[in-house]
Structure 1
Amino acid sequence: MRNSLIAASALSLVVLATPAFAQDAEPAAPFTITGTAALTTDYRFRGISQTNEKLAVQAGATIAHESGFYASFWGSSIDDYVYLDADAEVDLILGYSKTVDGFTLDGGVLYYLYASAAPGIRSDFFEPYASVKYTYGPVTGKLGAAYAPKQNALSLDGYASREDNLYVYGELSTTIPGTPIGISGHLGYSHGRSALTLGQKDYFDWNITGSYTYKNVTFGVSYVDTDFKKSSPYLFFPGLDTAPGYAKNGYDLVDPTILGSVTFAF
């Protein structure tokens, strides 16, 4: 969801031309706007399905300033069990990114908004994040962390027994030289309960993704898995796993899966 600044100008040099025909290059615009729209067979957030293993529609946009500051929004369709009656997640982001000696440092605050959640459900919460990225040859490595302080949304009833949550992760990605094929891997660790992890406080998630990019369209296939135990309850309201419109089985939300996606960049 976070995008780098893109250089936007070029200068044509005319050898031995007279000053009357010389033109200066236009300065790069101070702001850059980018966006994406995607369709995926399942929306997995840190290994947990947010759509009951069904199709998700997603879109986002970023406006970045040449100073390194940026603002983004990103949204996805979700299923009701994430937060009762909520059918969409919207992420609002304010951040800052800067490259120093080849290392890209990125940090900010992300706010999770579930505007259509049922009245009385405390669903929205915020999460500061930070990461560092470095590219060596064709390989890029990234380490990051996100911490959500104790908030009403990270609890069973939305009021009492508030929890915090720490998520740390590492990623490796590469593009096969001379081809539009990319490969990436992700390993994450979550400590602390959230709305969908009431039965198990700590867990790992991981995924491996292959991608193919044609012009501004990227096709992806991912294998996603977690180390959740089958005996753990996962849903916000225990017992709703048998109700119409909710996950038919809590373990289905975290079991191994292969998902496909197509993303349009603009």
Structure 2
Amino acid sequence: MLLPGFAAPAFAQDDGGLSASVEVASDDRRRGLSWSSGDPVLRASVSVPVADGLVLDATGVSLRGSRRHGGADGVIDLRAGYTRQTGAWSLTADATYHAFPGASGQGYAELGAGAGFLIGPANIGAFARYAPRQDAIGGDNLYLGAETSLGIPGTPFTVSGHVGRSSGSVRDPMRAWRLRPDGRYWDHGVALDYRRGQWAAGLRYADSSIDPGASDHAGATLVARFGIDF
């Protein structure tokens, strides 16, 4: 599954039961922004199906004093997601809370929805994520995007790409800088992922329209990942 902005809970896949994964990555890049100040991270995930189409999952990422998130040592993403398959269509809805150990007043919640259509080995989709007005993010935040992925037939490789736009209201410019350092902006990326059994690796290119002077670690970058599923 291609997740918005390549912010994926490692390489875990749902096979109908509990699943977990561990991954190392050269950066934690979300919507064109580095959450780890450009430093390598360790990511661990667990996913638990609780009903038909309903999954609870948690992902923890090491940040080691993230300047973007008030000096947080990590982020824990707690998510409840629902997926409904209708023919070639896949419809999703979810709610996520981002907690930041090591920093106070940084946690915030957001809601998401998306639709994807399967055409042979290709998947094309669109999605929206909305964080209602919260003090921790200095207003509200809306992220709209489109994504596509293609499994290369006869190989363990998948090619994917996305484009997204962040916007929203601003009540506190200092806090709003966390998610939109240059106000409204675009981000985009492409990726090549490899999977063989439990092992997976990936190389991703990410960039954004953010002015280089508006924020550190917001320009073009390559992110390498290596993980294992359990």
Superposed pair shares fold, TM > 0.5? yes
Q: 2:184 aligns with which of 195, 202, 206?
A: 202
Instruction: Tell me the residue number matched to 1:93.
Output: 79
Q: Aligned-pair distance for 1:82?
A: 2.2
Q: Which residue of 2 aligns with 1:13?
A: none
**What CA deviation, in whole Å up to 9, does each residue of 1:126-163 have, x standing for no partner?**
001111112110101121111001101112xxxxxxx1
2:71 and 2:13 mapped to 1: Cα distance?
A: 35
1:182 aligns with 2:158: yes
Aligned partner of 1:133 among 79, 96, 116:
116
AA partner of residue 150 (structure 1):
R
The answer for the alignment partner of 2:26 in structure 1 is 41
Deviation at 1:195, TM superposition (A): 4.1
Change (3 A) 1:33 1:176: same
Distance change in 2, residues 1:198/1:99 (3 Å): closer
Distance in 1, matches of 2:111 and 2:69, equals 21
Separation of aligned partners in 2, 1:206 and 1:215: 29
Are 2:96 and 1:110 aligned? yes
2:138 aligned with 1:152: no
1:33-67 C-alpha deviation (Å, 9 max, x unpaired): 11221100011011101112111100111111342
Q: In structure 1, the residue corresponding to 2:137 is in which secondary structure?
A: coil
Partner Cα distance (2:14, 2:69) in 1: 35
3-state secondary structure, aligned to 1:87: strand
- Counting only pairs closer than 5 Å after superposition, residues 239-250 of structure 1 correspond to structure 2 as 250=216
Calculate the aligned-residue CA RMSD, in Å: 1.8
In the alignment, what sits opposite 1:237? Answer: none
- Structure 2 segments unaligned to the other structure (5+ residues): 1-8, 171-175
Query: For residues 57 and 4 of structure 1, what CA distance do their matches in structure 2 show?
Result: 18
After superposition, the C-alpha distances for 1:194-213 in whole angstroms (9 at most, x for unaligned) are 34245421111111101121
Counterpart amino acid of 2:159? I
Instruction: Note closer, same or farther for the CA distance 1:137–1:45 as it changes in structure 2 (3 Å cut).
Output: same
Task: Give the equivalent residue in structure 2 for 1:27.
Answer: none
The structural deviation recorded for 1:5 is 5.0
Distance 2:36 2:222 in 1: 14
Are the equivalent residues in 1 in contact too, given 2:35–2:69 (CA < 8 A)? no
| Aligned counterpart, 2:58 | 73
The one-letter amino acid paired with 1:74 is: T
TM-score (norm 2): 0.87
> What is the deviation of 1:259?
1.5
TM-score normalised over the length of structure 1? 0.76
Say yes or no: does 1:122 pair with 2:105.
Answer: yes
Q: Deviations over 1:195-233 (max 9, x none)?
A: 42454211111111011212111111111100111232x
- 1:25: which partner in 2? none
Q: Is the 8 A contact 1:5 1:66 kept in 2?
A: no
| 2-structure distance, mates of 1:230, 1:200 | 9
For 1:187 and 1:63, the matched residues in 2 are separated by 29
Alignment of 1:263 onto 2:203: no
Query: Match of 2:207?
Result: 225
What is the percent sequence identity of the aligned residues? 25
Q: Is the 8 A contact 2:90 2:115 kept in 1?
A: yes
Counterparts of 1:34 and 1:114, CA distance in 2? 23
